[in-house]
């Protein structure tokens, strides 16, 4: 059994990771760290786990583990590792954005960007994973088949809508139910922080890509999921696009190309990404959907762990969709 | 024109009052007081009013007005009036619970409980109004026709569900969208603070009522509205009950008896209350619905003001329902 | 008093029109026609109107009226007018799409496209109005200030999300609550039927516009409202854009330019349109929001009627926003 | 491997059963019958299963299976079994209400009421299971610990709210998103069809129970889940009630007693039931929550299958909660 430690277990991604790992056939949770909740039962914070686990939060950080998941705020992963150096025997999966961009810090050198659809081999031999952002995952899985074939020849026009869990657990004005229900609003238009990691991956696959990525993110009036529409110029036919996408994702257990129109709830509470392409005039429209807390965070973290430890990529991730 | 001052204009009930008064044919808003927002435009807080008003919040409290509305937290109305004594020329409508219960404080002596369906004449000659609570309004309008006829002969069994705006503007755990969407939960079962004012009105109409009122309130996963079901033993027929309710509410412009089943959205964004009765075995089931911010707060406050000033009871309150 | 007849009064836009007209100070409803509901009370279909009106549906079509509103399915307005010729004394407001596109039919010759922000003078002297589509209204109000200044120099990239009431009253798979709640999906990408009327208006203001309008419409998981983001190349500054938009909408009672970010619920249950512009790199981002049933349908129909009859443009349209 | 056949696989409970069985470690789906969808892929109807299964619907009914699940409309299970007699080697789990009430039909003689918390031993040796109704499950699990101890000494007062999936897949007026979102309404008050099976179980445990069960069901504005509040007179203390409930559910893998207040989303997308009790005056308040499609239908059906085949009761039912 893989012994796993979780840092920052009281937040949304930490809770989702616990939900996955308590049913993972090859993992046992060694501890769930949350300094502010130390001593409390995990189900006192993640109340849906009542009856499923008697784990308690701890403030300790043991290194007698095989893998550690960092479910901490952006900036805190670096601080944590500086304060708590991990022995080389402990694999690291960081869910923050601290190590996603290469070359920005010497500490980040050993981190592999954990998007299995493009970096599977590197992940399998990695010991340190920078887990991708949620919007970043959704958009890249819509874009990368084109980049891999050198077919991103023009600007990208993207609108995406994210669920409220993407904004974290702290109650704020924009997550207040009275405001957010039945409401939509744009934030960080053209300036979302995930554009950096998206660009990095696009350039990894298509080094000459120099066009802009025009991305307009929305706050959605639902709790889970991301849906994005991307359009860009594409000289081929719809059939060629479908074939290109299907080929790129052949063998990927979680990312699939639907020839039918897709809707967000097809993937909620799963680790899947569905993409769908349509040709309209000179444009290719690509739709992409994920669950932001699963394929966009904790699910992908487990997928990366599975790959690092050489167990089946889908272990612990065959999840019942919520569907409704 | 009636000159109105609003204290606590940045909260939910304050905002709703502004929405009503800016279109009221007989009222001009003299000022909207909010110490924390003084100098800011009203539409910076109540952003739906952008384009409708250029009012700014002020920290001043002028007494050169005809009526003052206190949209403040419970306990703060008493404090405000102690610190800012109003001349007898200024009528007062207090939306807090500070003066709802008679006999509890000498300061409250002059306040009339502002439920027009039972106290219309007293309201018309009053200068100080204690505006009823939201659940209190919904439940009383379901109960009082029975009390008025001495027909509350047994316990009352009540369940009610309230929208998130009932919990106020401050972001909290139980108003976080991620938690509250698609969720229901009970709070303050059997102990809701509005039971006192409900009991007071029941006893006003039926002095010998001594049974318990078993009330289970729910937090609803919608922003506006209250729906409640009440059942109690009733020896008459359904037809007798319908007639009794229709007679009691005859001539009331906002409270109506539906012989068809009712649903919450029939009254959202209106000052109406709809009630519906059905007989089942020895029980009478009464359904009652209101908009918690209108008939349950600011709408009823305007209705009371209309009555006090001798203008049509419906002035400024013929509102388009949201319907969907 | 203006005597109004309503054809197709049992549907969503018909109901919304009734909600507006029963409180309109200058209008009396002569009749509400609905063949399938003839004889029934209006509140039996539009149950939120219980207590507000005792009107009944009729199957008759009197011409003893001043204005007739056609709230019928696309294609049925032409048929209705062919079967029921209106005397020239009766003004017509058609909410279907039958007469929106000029030059497509001889019957449509006399119809003025009822978007007051560009055609106010023509509307004031018109006797026949083709009321714009909901998405068409929202998008045009975001675009037309640029077109009016000849500044649409490149393609338009648009994503918009509409509420479920846009899909009409008939229960279908894509309006089933179990499917639509917490869900988003694209439909009619690049092919929405409103593109024709949008293009017509753009070319009216900027005759040389020849670029494509890339529009991706979404089904939203809310009942009311449309929000759209538009981006297009713009060589001026953000300040210049703001000024240009403010100048274009100066004096318009319902359409306003917000310098703050906007969110959908600011306009729900009102006849307003709010637009907001931001400059990002070489792009201008324009956000536009309306209530699809009001400014996008029945509210704008009343606005057009007001203009045709020379009464205040805002008569009957000072609506309390739902806000939450 | 247990070979399972599913009849009526295109509906909500059929779909949910497929979602469970494709990941069940001991089951293979032999076929999914749906005459109207024969030949189509399962994921064409249950689109969330795209990428998870290549099963197709069939119109055939093979008896070369170990267990058959009847996910058909009420009344159709009897008809199906009459037209398609199953050999004694095929165990039957009927999700309709056809065989839930004993003694009403000779055909129903062999059916065991499949509520494991009271009938586990009988289920383990049964070959035919009548799977309980959704409201019936939720309410019984709130009530039966009292009945088992002879402590139901007075009437029961119950209000419950169910998700829209309880109303089935067919689009109707009361499942139209525009109507149901943000809305609540009562239906079948005091007359819900599940009262029969609830009473049957109560009397099984407490044969002298003769009081009425006053049940007011609501249509909720969410897709999944049931929450119910029950109050009845109880002479013991809260501590005694908690102990009594904990003792009754000791060893039950899915039903747990929470000493903290509970909210609906704690159990959504799980097979769990959580109950919580509080003493108020002479009343015991019991809260009970389930997912209507899982513990209230297909999840409990799998639980019953597990028991009948002697495999672990939780096999295939350790589900990740949706939580948000």
Minimal Cβ distance to B269: which of C49, C256, C320: C320
pLDDT for res C103: 77
What is the distance between the alpha carbons of residues B316 and C238, in angstroms, rounded to a whole number?
Answer: 40
Domains of chain A, each with CATH number or no CATH: 2-132+295-309 (3.40.50.720), 134-292 (3.30.360.10)
Minimal Cβ distance to A263: which of C185, C190, C287: C185
What is the distance between the alpha carbons of residues C320 and B21, in angstroms, rounded to a whole number?
Answer: 10
pLDDT for res B104: 67
* Partner D contacted by A36 (CB < 8 A): no
- Residues in B closer than 8 angstroms to D189, CB to CB, are 229, 278, 280, 285
What is the distance between the alpha carbons of residues B83 and B76, in angstroms, rounded to a whole number?
Answer: 10
Question: In terms of Cα–Cα distance, which of A311, A295, A251 is closest to A123?
Answer: A311
* Partner A contacted by C173 (CB < 8 A): no
For every residue of A143-180, DSSP letters joined together read: HHHHHHTT---S-EEEEEEE-GGGG-SS--GGGBHHHH
* Partner D contacted by A296 (CB < 8 A): no
> Which subunits have 3 or more CB–CB pairs within 8 Å of chain C?
A, B, D
pLDDT for res C104: 67
Minimal Cβ distance to A265: which of C159, C182, C263: C182
CB-CB under 8 Å, A320 with D269: yes
Of the CA atoms within 13 Å of residue D196, those in its CB half-sphere come to 12
Q: Which candidate in B71, B134, B138, B273 is catalytic?
A: B134
* Partner C contacted by A268 (CB < 8 A): yes
**Interface residue of A45, A170, A176, A182 to substitute, partner B, most B CBs within 10 Å:** A176
pLDDT for res D104: 67
* Partner A contacted by D49 (CB < 8 A): yes
Which positions 189-218 of C are in contact with A (Cβ < 8 Å)?
Answer: 189-191, 212, 214, 216, 218
pLDDT for res A190: 98
Region C223-235 average pLDDT: 98
* Partner B contacted by D56 (CB < 8 A): no
pLDDT for res C33: 98
Residue B189 bridge partners (DSSP): none
Percentage of chain C beyond pLDDT 70 is 99
Q: Closest Cα of chain D to B179: distance in Å? A: 6
- Coil, strand, or helix at residue D240? helix
CB-CB under 8 Å, C165 with D178: yes
**Interface residue of C178, C182, C234, C287 to substitute, partner A, most A CBs within 10 Å:** C182
Joined together, the tokens standing for residue A75 give 């900036």
CB-CB under 8 Å, D182 with B227: no
pLDDT in tens, chain A (324 residues): 999 999 999 999 999 999 999 999 999 999 999 999 999 999 999 999 999 999 999 999 999 999 999 999 999 999 999 999 999 999 999 999 999 999 766 777 799 999 999 999 999 999 999 999 999 999 999 999 999 999 999 999 999 999 999 999 999 999 999 999 999 999 999 999 999 999 999 999 999 999 999 999 999 999 999 999 999 999 999 999 999 999 999 999 999 999 999 999 999 999 999 999 999 999 999 999 999 999 999 999 999 999 999 999 999 999 999 999
pLDDT for res B108: 72
The residue in chain C having the minimum alpha-carbon distance to the alpha carbon of residue B267 is C48
The residue in chain C having the minimum alpha-carbon distance to the alpha carbon of residue D166 is C178
**Interface residue of A16, A173, A175, A178 to substitute, partner B, most B CBs within 10 Å:** A178
Q: What residue spans of chain B are helical by DSSP H?
A: 12-21, 42-45, 76-83, 116-124, 134-148, 177-180, 195-205, 238-249, 299-309
The residue in chain A having the minimum alpha-carbon distance to the alpha carbon of residue B177 is A177
Q: Closest Cα of chain D to A316: distance in Å? A: 10
Q: What ipTM was reported for this prediction?
A: 0.97
What sign does the CA torsion over A77, A78, A79, A84 have? Answer: positive
What sign does the CA torsion over A192, A226, D317, D290 have? Answer: positive
Q: Closest Cα of chain D to C170: distance in Å? A: 8
Beta strands across the sheet bearing D57-58? D57-58, D27-33, D2-7, D67-70, D91-94, D128-130, D111-113
**Interface residue of A177, A216, A321 to substitute, partner C, most C CBs within 10 Å:** A216
Average pLDDT score, chain D: 97
B309 in Cβ contact with B303 (< 8 Å): no
Determine phi and psi for B299, rounding to 5 degrees: -65, -45
* Partner D contacted by B287 (CB < 8 A): yes
What is the distance between the alpha carbons of residues C96 and C77, in angstroms, rounded to a whole number?
Answer: 7
**Interface residue of B185, B217, B289, B321 to substitute, partner D, most D CBs within 10 Å:** B185
Residue for token pair 């179980």: D201
Joined together, the tokens standing for residue D124 give 């383990």
What is the distance between the alpha carbons of residues A287 and C185, in angstroms, rounded to a whole number?
Answer: 9
C67 in Cβ contact with C31 (< 8 Å): no
What count of CB pairs under 8 Å joins B to C? 93
Torsion angle in degrees (nearest 10) through CA of D109, D113, D118, D119: 50
pLDDT for res A104: 67
* Partner C contacted by B319 (CB < 8 A): yes
Region C263-289 average pLDDT: 98
Query: Using 50, 70 and 90 to split pLDDT, how confident is the model at B106?
Result: confident
B251-266 pLDDT tens trace: 999 999 999 999 999 9
Percentage of chain C beyond pLDDT 90 is 98
For residue C106, pLDDT over 90 is answered with: no
* Partner D contacted by A295 (CB < 8 A): no
What is the distance between the alpha carbons of residues D30 and D17, in angstroms, rounded to a whole number?
Answer: 13
For residue B105, pLDDT over 80 is answered with: no
Q: Closest Cα of chain D to C90: distance in Å? A: 33
For residue B171, pLDDT over 90 is answered with: yes
* Partner D contacted by B226 (CB < 8 A): no
C140-191 pLDDT tens trace: 999 999 999 999 999 999 999 999 999 999 999 999 999 999 999 999 999 9
What is the distance between the alpha carbons of residues D49 and A321, in angstroms, rounded to a whole number?
Answer: 8
CB-CB under 8 Å, B227 with D184: yes
- Residues in A closer than 8 angstroms to C286, CB to CB, are none
Q: Closest Cα of chain A to D295: distance in Å? A: 14
* Partner C contacted by A183 (CB < 8 A): yes
For residue C113, pLDDT over 80 is answered with: yes
What is the distance between the alpha carbons of residues A73 and A80, in angstroms, rounded to a whole number?
Answer: 10
D216-240 pLDDT tens trace: 999 999 999 999 999 999 999 999 9
Which positions 110-169 of C are in contact with A (Cβ < 8 Å)?
Answer: 157, 159, 161
For residue D105, pLDDT over 90 is answered with: no
- Residues in C closer than 8 angstroms to A157, CB to CB, are 157, 214, 231
* Partner B contacted by D238 (CB < 8 A): no
Q: Closest Cα of chain D to B67: distance in Å? A: 35
Residue D213 bridge partners (DSSP): D156
Q: Closest Cα of chain A to C276: distance in Å? A: 11
The residue in chain D having the minimum alpha-carbon distance to the alpha carbon of residue B285 is D189
> Which subunits have 3 or more CB–CB pairs within 8 Å of chain D?
A, B, C
The residue in chain D having the minimum alpha-carbon distance to the alpha carbon of residue A17 is D320
* Partner B contacted by C273 (CB < 8 A): no
CB-CB under 8 Å, D293 with A48: no
Minimal Cβ distance to D229: which of B159, B223, B225: B159
Average pLDDT score, chain B: 97
* Partner D contacted by B263 (CB < 8 A): yes
Q: Closest Cα of chain A to C312: distance in Å? A: 31
Minimal Cβ distance to A281: which of C178, C184, C190: C190
If one counts every other C-beta atom within 10 angstroms of the C-beta of residue B147, the result is 20
B144 in Cβ contact with B288 (< 8 Å): no
CB-count burial class (<10 Å; 0-12, 13-18, 19+) for A107: middle
């Amino acid at each position: 059994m893989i012994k796993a430690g979780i840092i920052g277990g009281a937040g949304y991604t930490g809770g989702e990771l616990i939900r996955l790992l308590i049913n993972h056939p090859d993992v046992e949770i060694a501890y769930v760290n949350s300094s502010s909740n130390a001593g409390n039962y995990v189900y006192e914070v993640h109340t849906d786990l009542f009856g499923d686990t008697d784990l308690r939060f701890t403030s300790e950080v043991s290194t007698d583990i095989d893998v550690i998941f960092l479910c901490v705020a952006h900036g805190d992963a670096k601080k944590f590792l500086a304060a708590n150096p991990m022995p080389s025997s402990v694999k690291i999966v960081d869910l923050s954005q601290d190590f996603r961009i290469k070359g920005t810090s010497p500490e980040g050198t050993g981190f592999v960007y954990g998007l299995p659809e493009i970096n599977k081999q590197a992940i399998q031999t990695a010991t340190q994973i920078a887990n991708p952002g949620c919007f970043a995952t959704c958009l890249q899985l819509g874009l990368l088949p084109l980049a891999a074939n050198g077919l991103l020849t023009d600007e990208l026009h993207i609108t995406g809508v994210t669920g409220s869990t993407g904004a974290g657990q702290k109650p704020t004005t924009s997550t207040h139910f009275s405001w957010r229900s039945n409401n939509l609003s744009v934030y960080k238009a053209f300036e979302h922080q995930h554009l950096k990691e998206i660009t990095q991956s696009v350039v990894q696959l298509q080094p000459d890509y120099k066009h802009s990525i025009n991305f307009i993110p929305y706050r959605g009036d639902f709790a889970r999921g991301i849906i994005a529409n991307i359009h860009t110029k594409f000289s081929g036919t719809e059939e060629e696009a479908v074939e290109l996408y299907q080929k790129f994702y052949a063998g990927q257990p979680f990312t699939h190309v639907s020839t039918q129109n897709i809707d967000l709830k097809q993937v909620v509470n799963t680790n899947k990404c569905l993409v769908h392409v349509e040709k309209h005039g000179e444009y290719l429209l690509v739709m992409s959907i994920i669950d932001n807390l699963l394929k966009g965070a904790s699910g992908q973290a487990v997928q990366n762990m599975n790959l690092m430890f050489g167990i089946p990529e889908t272990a612990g991730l065959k999840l019942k969709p919520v569907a409704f």
